[in-house]
Amino acid sequence: MLHLVHQLARAQARRLRLLATWLLVLALGVSGHARADAVHSLQLSSWSMQRGAPADIWAIAQGADGFLWLGTGTGLYRFDGVSFDPVVPSRNRAFASSNITALKMLADGTLWIGFYNGGAAALKGGVVRRFGPDEGFPAGMVQAFATRDDGSLWAATSGGLARFDGQRWKVVGREMGYPTHRASWILAGRDGALWVTSGSQLLVLPRGDRQFRDTGIAVGRAAVLAQAPDGTLWLSDTLHGTRALPGLDAAHACTVDQASLPAIGFAAAKRLLFDRHGQLWGTDAHEGGVYRVRAPAQIAGGRPLQPADIARRYRQGDGLTSDIAIPLFEDREGNVWAGTNLGLNSFRPSNVVSMEGVGLTPVAHYALSISSAGTVWLGYGGVLYRIEQGEPVAMLRGLPDPGAMVATPNGDLWLRVGRDSYKNRQFRF
């Protein structure tokens, strides 16, 4: 008998903990600078310029200490989660420009910085090394850096593709089969291949080779790339929007003829990112804001993204600091960051979210109960709700506000209704 009492007590304690959680979820909600994605448990937090964030965030990186580095139109900043601290080297080591468009943190702690007006800098231990035309760095806006598994460092700029030899940069040209003086984006694949969009072509440098190969895939001028966890490459441009390139690797051609795809710019992205859960994120070049595709592996057959593929969009009205968003970055804790022209935003997993569709107030009369099977019941505003997959489903309407509610093990639901009445009502569903 004592063992049974202990079991019942533990079960009741579990239900009370669940009930307390649901009370917090429903009653408190999320307000101010943080909003929740109720279905997917993501918390959107924002740091606007009024909260000290810099404007025009172009690039994001993370140091070994966990701090974020932000490349902006007004210089380099370090963010500790609370304050944004400008990084200003000494005068004789100053950056060539304050307009930063690319960042890359290396394993040894060196932060590579690329500038809008061209040129690069390497920052390590407070010491800055500058690289311009005299050091072999190409002219033009720096789009991105990439490091291959052999440790080599590459840069994509509007003035060409370049490789760092440890001391100097060297522009890559026809001697390596690279046919143009532009590189829009660069990606180091997990198989060691280097992928480059040139403004018109997608090219690849296989591991161990010294000659780029044309994949035969035409791309738009500002095409960007990302690689899914299963190794599939994804491409986004204004020619055919955002799509997977099935079958494509350094040795095999894409199995989908790109010329047969519809001319569509939907979901064309300024940046693409796959998070650790396999979700695809993009900063939308046309509609603005950030979008998320929950299960891109299920639509990786090569067709462009369609509106129904987008699980969620985040715009200024949803708490994003601005609809003009560019960089995306996933930190070591699994938080996804997005920079805009008006501040910084993060999307982090949340165990407690605000449920939409009910709208409780602090003075509301409501009742909650959790059945032994884990079903959550809510009575509020004359409506009896059952929570199904995180969403409230109205089961009965026209009820007085309940004073109490209890779900019995046999499936009955008992309510005490009316402010002055203690009449019990029984329901079975």
Tell me which residue of 165, 206, 175 sits closest to 189, measured CA to CA.
206
Q: What would the pLDDT profile of 79-130 be if each residue is shown by its tens digit? A: 999 999 999 887 667 898 999 999 999 999 999 999 999 999 999 998 999 9
Q: Count of residues for the chain? A: 429
CA angle 181, 60, 335 (to 5 degrees): 135
Residues 150-161: what's their mean pLDDT?
97
> What is the rounded CA–CA span in Å between residue 334 and residue 269?
21
In whole angstroms, what separates CA 89 from the centre of its chain? 31
> What is the rounded CA–CA span in Å between residue 81 and residue 47?
10
pLDDT of the residue at 4: 35
Contact 336, 62 (CB under 8 A): no
- Regarding predicted confidence, which is higher, 362 or 12? 362
Give the domain ranges of the chain. Answer: 2-29+361-428, 42-349
> What is the rounded CA–CA span in Å between residue 285 and residue 154?
25
- Regarding predicted confidence, which is higher, 10 or 305? 305
Contact 70, 56 (CB under 8 A): no
Q: What would the pLDDT profile of 109-122 be if each residue is shown by its tens digit? A: 999 999 999 999 99
Q: What would the pLDDT profile of 368-395 be if each residue is shown by its tens digit? A: 888 877 788 888 778 888 887 667 888 8
What confidence tier does 420 reach under pLDDT thresholds 50, 70, 90? very low
Three-class DSSP category at 237 = strand
Q: Half-sphere exposure of 216 toward its Cβ, with a 13 Å CA cutoff?
A: 13
* Strand residues in 127-253 grouped as ranges (E): 127-131, 142-147, 153-157, 160-164, 169-172, 185-188, 194-197, 201-205, 213-218, 224-227, 233-237, 241-244
> What is the rounded CA–CA span in Å between residue 69 and residue 74?
13
Contact 344, 329 (CB under 8 A): no
Q: Is 132 exposed, middle or buried (0-12, 13-18, 19+ CB in 10 A)?
A: middle
Contact 393, 384 (CB under 8 A): no
pLDDT of the residue at 415: 79
For 418, the token pair is 């009316």
pLDDT of the residue at 388: 73
CATH for 2-29+361-428 is 2.40.10
Residue 41 has pLDDT above 90, yes or no: no
Contact 224, 269 (CB under 8 A): yes
CATH for 42-349 is 2.130.10.10
Task: Put residue 116 in one of left, alpha, beta given phi > 0 → left and psi -120 to 50 → alpha.
Answer: alpha
pLDDT of the residue at 427: 61
- Under DSSP, the state recorded for 297 is G
Contact 199, 221 (CB under 8 A): yes
Three-class DSSP category at 334 = coil
Mean pLDDT of the chain: 87
Angstrom distances, CA of residue 25 to CA of 174, 206, 407: 60, 51, 20
Q: What would the pLDDT profile of 25-36 be if each residue is shown by its tens digit? A: 444 443 335 555
3-state SS string over 109-146? CCEEEEECCCCEEEEECCEEEEECHHHCCCCCCEEEEE
Q: What would the pLDDT profile of 351-367 be if each residue is shown by its tens digit? A: 665 666 666 565 567 78
Residue 402 has pLDDT above 80, yes or no: no
> What is the rounded CA–CA span in Å between residue 269 and residue 292?
11
Least reliable range by pLDDT among 31-45, 165-179, 227-241, 347-361? 31-45
Radius of gyration for the chain, computed over Cα atoms and rounded to the nearest angstrom: 27
Angstrom distances, CA of residue 112 to CA of 97, 107, 148: 14, 11, 15
> What is the rounded CA–CA span in Å between residue 179 and residue 323?
36
In whole angstroms, what separates CA 383 from the centre of its chain? 37
Three-class DSSP category at 5 = helix
What confidence tier does 262 reach under pLDDT thresholds 50, 70, 90? very high
Contact 120, 140 (CB under 8 A): no
Residue 248 has pLDDT above 90, yes or no: yes
> What is the rounded CA–CA span in Å between residue 250 and residue 192?
9
- Max distance between CA atoms of the chain, in angstroms, equals 89
pLDDT of the residue at 406: 85
Three-class DSSP category at 308 = helix
pLDDT of the residue at 381: 78
Q: Half-sphere exposure of 199 toward its Cβ, with a 13 Å CA cutoff?
A: 13
